[in-house]
Amino acid sequence: MALRTVRIVNDDILHKVSRPVVQVNDKTRQLLDDMLETMYHYNGVGLAAVQVGILRRLLVIDVTENGTNPVEFINPEVISHKGSQTGWEGCLSIPGQSGKVVRPAVTVVRAINRFGQPFEMRCNGQLAVALNHELDHLDGVLYTQRAVEIRRQGEEEDG
């Protein structure tokens, strides 16, 4: 495993649309491992491949406090959204600030796992927030484009 460099907000790549993963292989699994290591290293709860400079539709999430439940999504597709929730989000690509964003309360998603097998997952709570935040990254959208309020670090506890 290896740490990857996280792209920061002024990098144009963050505004580009990621392409689907064509084949899940050892290189894919290596990338997922590196993304998880990088996410944990920087105390993030989610990371999309584009954030480490790879324009492919992969993301990793772990919303547990001790980092014990990593979830990986390859080529994720939303099946349905339900309800809404509002909370504060941060982003490893946008250091030093957080934003208040409205997200679905529940999102059902279909994706492929690291062995190339399809699965479906029903996500709610923080997992739904993180999932929708990361799905936006795959389409070149940052939370700052959706936020109803932005705060610099020190003004508000990050939610």
Residues ≥6 apart with Cβ < 8 Å to 16: 50, 55, 140
Smallest distance from the beta carbon of 100 to Zn ion, in angstroms?
15
49 interacts with Zn ion by CB under 5 A: no
Segment lying near Zn ion (by CB under 5 A), choices 2-10, 66-74, 83-91, 108-116: 83-91
Question: Of 111 and 133, which has the nearer Cβ to Zn ion?
Answer: 133
Q: Among residues 8 and 78, whose Cβ is nearest to Zn ion?
A: 8
Contact, 109 vs 91, CB < 8 A?
no
With contacts defined by CB under 5 A, how many residues of the chain interact with Zn ion? 1
Catalytic residue among 134, 149, 156, 157: 134
Smallest gap, in angstroms, from Cβ of residue 151 to Zn ion? 16
Query: What is the SS3 assignment for 86?
Result: strand
CA distance 147 to 128: 16
Cross-sheet strand order for the sheet of 46-48: 46-48, 58-61, 71-82, 106-112, 118-124
According to CB under 5 A, which one of 31, 74, 91, 123 is a site residue for Zn ion?
91
Whether 134 is catalytic: yes
Return the active site residues: 134
